Structure 1
Amino acid sequence: MTLPDRRILLVHAHPDDESINNGLTMAKYVQEGAHVTLVTCTLGEMGEVLVPELEHLAADRDDTLGQHREGELAAAMAALGVSDHRFLGGAGRFRDSGMKWDENGNATAADEIHDNAFWNADLLEAASLLVEIIREVRPQVLVTYDEFGNYGHPDHVQAHRVAHYATDLAAARSFKPELGEAWDIPKLYWAAMSASRFREDLRALRESGDTTTFEGMDPDQLPPFAVEDEYLDAMVVGPEHVPAKLAAMKAHKTQITEDGAFFAGGIDVAAVVWGTEFYRLVKGTRGPVGESGFEQDLFAGL
Structure 2
Amino acid sequence: MSRLLFVHAHPDDETLATGVAILHHVARGDDVHVLTCTLGEEGEVIPAELAHLEGAAGDPLAEHRRGELAGAVSVLGVTHHYLGAHADGERPAYRDSGMVGSVAFEHPRAFAGADFLEVAELMRSTVSEIAPDVVVTYDSEGGYGHPDHIRVHDAVRAAVAELPAGPALFVVLTPRSWAVEDREWLAAHVPRETGYAVPSPSEPMAPSVVDDATVTHAVVDPEVVPRQEQALRFHETQVVVGDGWFALSNNVAARLAGREGYSLMDPSTGALLPGGGGRRPGLVEDAR
Equivalent residue letter for 1:32: R
Matched, 1:238 2:218: no
CA distance in structure 1 between the partners assigned to 2:285 and 2:134 by the alignment = 10
Equivalent residue letter for 2:279: G
Matched, 1:69 2:65: yes
- How far residue 184 of structure 1 moved from its aligned partner, in angstroms, is 1.4
1:254 counterpart SS class? coil
CA distance in structure 1 between the partners assigned to 2:15 and 2:188 by the alignment = 28
| Contact 1:213/1:260, CA 8 A, preserved across alignment | no
**Change beyond 3 A, Cα 1:66–1:184:** same
- How far residue 133 of structure 1 moved from its aligned partner, in angstroms, is 2.1
Pick aligned residue for 1:140 from 133, 141, 157: 133
Pick aligned residue for 2:119 from 110, 114, 126: 126
2:45 counterpart SS class? coil
1:131 counterpart SS class? helix
CA distance in structure 1 between the partners assigned to 2:41 and 2:10 by the alignment = 9
CA distance in structure 2 between the partners assigned to 1:23 and 1:287 by the alignment = 23
2:144 counterpart SS class? coil
| Contact 2:144/2:207, CA 8 A, preserved across alignment | yes
- How far residue 59 of structure 1 moved from its aligned partner, in angstroms, is 2.1
Q: Structure 1 vs Structure 2: percent identity of aligned residues?
A: 37
Pick aligned residue for 1:194 from 150, 166, 175: 175
Q: For 1:34-89, what per-residue CA distance to the aligned partner results, in whole angstroms no more than 9, with x for missing partners?
A: 1111111101001011111111211245521111111111111111111x111100
Correspondence 1:17-36 to 2 at 5 A:
17-36=13-32
Structure 1 unaligned residues grouped into runs of 5+? 100-107, 172-182, 265-269
Equivalent residue letter for 2:235: H
**Change beyond 3 A, Cα 1:288–1:32:** farther
1:281 counterpart SS class? strand
**Change beyond 3 A, Cα 1:259–1:210:** closer
CA distance in structure 1 between the partners assigned to 2:233 and 2:104 by the alignment = 30
- How far residue 274 of structure 1 moved from its aligned partner, in angstroms, is 2.2
CA distance in structure 1 between the partners assigned to 2:163 and 2:60 by the alignment = 34
Aligned to 1:93: 93
- How far residue 208 of structure 1 moved from its aligned partner, in angstroms, is 7.1
Q: For 1:70-114, what per-residue CA distance to the aligned partner results, in whole angstroms no more than 9, with x for missing partners?
A: 1111111111111x1111001141000012xxxxxxxx4536521
- How far residue 255 of structure 1 moved from its aligned partner, in angstroms, is 0.4
**Change beyond 3 A, Cα 1:165–1:109:** farther
| Contact 2:104/2:110, CA 8 A, preserved across alignment | no
**Change beyond 3 A, Cα 1:81–1:286:** farther
CA distance in structure 2 between the partners assigned to 1:220 and 1:247 by the alignment = 30
Structure 2 unaligned residues grouped into runs of 5+? 86-90, 248-252, 268-272
Aligned to 1:105: none
Aligned to 1:175: none
Give the TM-score taking structure 2 as reference length: 0.83
- How far residue 263 of structure 1 moved from its aligned partner, in angstroms, is 3.6
Aligned to 2:250: none
2:156 counterpart SS class? helix
Aligned to 1:81: 77
CA distance in structure 1 between the partners assigned to 2:39 and 2:112 by the alignment = 14
CA distance in structure 2 between the partners assigned to 1:220 and 1:112 by the alignment = 30
2:279 counterpart SS class? coil
CA distance in structure 1 between the partners assigned to 2:238 and 2:63 by the alignment = 14
